[in-house]
Amino acid sequence: MINITSTTYRQDAWRRLKGNRIAMVSLALLLAIFAMCIIGPFISPYKYTAVNSDIVNQSPSLQHLFGTDDLGRDIFARIWAGGRVSMLIGVLGAFSVTVLGVLYGGISGYFGGTADDIMMRAVEVMNCIPYMIVAILIAFIAGQGIGALILAMTITGWGGMARLVRGQVLQLREQPFVLAAKALGASPGRIISKHLLPNTVGVIIVQFTLDVPIFIFGEAFLSFIGLGIQSPGTSWGAMAAAAQQHLMFYPYQIFFPALLISMTMLAFNLLGDGLRDALDPTLGIQEGI
């Protein structure tokens, strides 16, 4: 007797992802950075806001693993405290873009016709706006905190997700199972949420993974021009911006925030690529697996 257990889509995707060494290393790296952001501030003997004029601009040493900055603050402690902010903005920002984009794209794609035309024209007009200009203005109005940064980047950044979801929904709604649901009298809300969106979830997850680094980058970017997190709070972008001023004399100060930003963005990008391969079963069919 042959013993075959059927695997669900989710198990199948996870198995494929596990087979992708690069994606798994990225995942492990991200989990390690996450963990350090959570426990880092506790295991450091220094508080990230503690100023000490006796130890200003010290190179990395055993006392201060990553050195100290121009106010004598321990960079090791600040990296993980700043990492909390950067990660939070990345994940929350990607999440809000996803919610907004899925709603907008789902509605637009499902109803089609004139509604779709008008909604997509609006996205097109939005895409023609140099988004950073609007983001800078909103960041100014909303004040300079985590919420303001997320708001500024969400308002300017949801168009891509909306178009992606709309394209998917447009394809799916012609499928027989949607017709069947309609024939059974399901409401549009039910069809969108129960039939269409679950089938696009793979694409949405991939896009979410690729949106996180965009937000981390955007935060760093706005911090760099002085609109980001304000002292004594910090983020990787704010640290890199501050360290850039002392690049001539203390290059190590920019090294760690730059390294963390780059590593996180790289890992999210690689994980996103891996997820795309894992979550798209049609690729496997094409390859004859």
Partner 1 sequence: MLSYMLKRLAYMAVTLWVVITITFFLMHAIPGDPLSGLARELPAHTKANYYAKYGLDKSLGEQYFIYINNLLHGDLGESLKYPGRDVKGEILKYAPATARLGLQAVSIGFLLGSILGLAAAFKRNRWPDYLVTGAALLGVSVPSFVLAALLQYIFAVRNSWLPATGWGGFAFTILPSIALSTSVLAIFARVMRASALDVIGQDYIMTARAKGSGGLSFAFKHVARNAVLPSVTLLGPQIAGIITGSFVIENIFAIPGIGSNFVTSVFNRDYTMIMGMTVFYAVVYMAALLLVDIAYAVIDPRIRLYEPK
User: Which chain residues interact with partner 1 by CB under 8 A?
Assistant: 124-125, 128-134, 136-138, 140-141, 213, 217, 220-221, 224-226, 240-241, 244, 247-248, 251, 254, 258, 261-263, 265-266, 269-270
Supply the minimum distance, in Å, between the C-beta of residue 217 and partner 1. Answer: 6
36 vs 122 by CB, closer to partner 1: 122
Distance, CA of 196 to CA of 260 (rounded, Å): 37
Supply the minimum distance, in Å, between the C-beta of residue 47 and partner 1. Answer: 27
140 vs 177 by CB, closer to partner 1: 140
Transcribe 4-38 into DSSP letters: -PPPPHHHHHHHHHHT-HHHHHHHHHHHHHHHHHH
Q: Which residues contact 58 (CB under 8 A, 6 or more apart)?
A: 64, 67, 68, 72
Supply the minimum distance, in Å, between the C-beta of residue 62 and partner 1. Answer: 25
Supply the minimum distance, in Å, between the C-beta of residue 199 and partner 1. Answer: 25
Q: Where do we find the tokens 């990607």?
A: 94
Whole-angstrom CA distances from 65 to 25, 44, 285 are 25, 10, 50
63 vs 245 by CB, closer to partner 1: 245
Distance, CA of 66 to CA of 59 (rounded, Å): 7
Cβ atoms within 10 Å of 107's Cβ, excluding its own: 19
How close are the terminal C-alpha atoms of the chain, in Å?
Answer: 23
52 vs 244 by CB, closer to partner 1: 244
Supply the minimum distance, in Å, between the C-beta of residue 169 and partner 1. Answer: 22
Supply the minimum distance, in Å, between the C-beta of residue 176 and partner 1. Answer: 31
User: Which pair of tokens denotes residue 266?
Assistant: 């790289």
186 vs 263 by CB, closer to partner 1: 263
28 vs 43 by CB, closer to partner 1: 28
Transcribe 237-287 into DSSP letters: HHHHHHHHTTTTT-THHHHHHHHHHHHHHHHHHHHHHHHHHHH-HHHHHHT
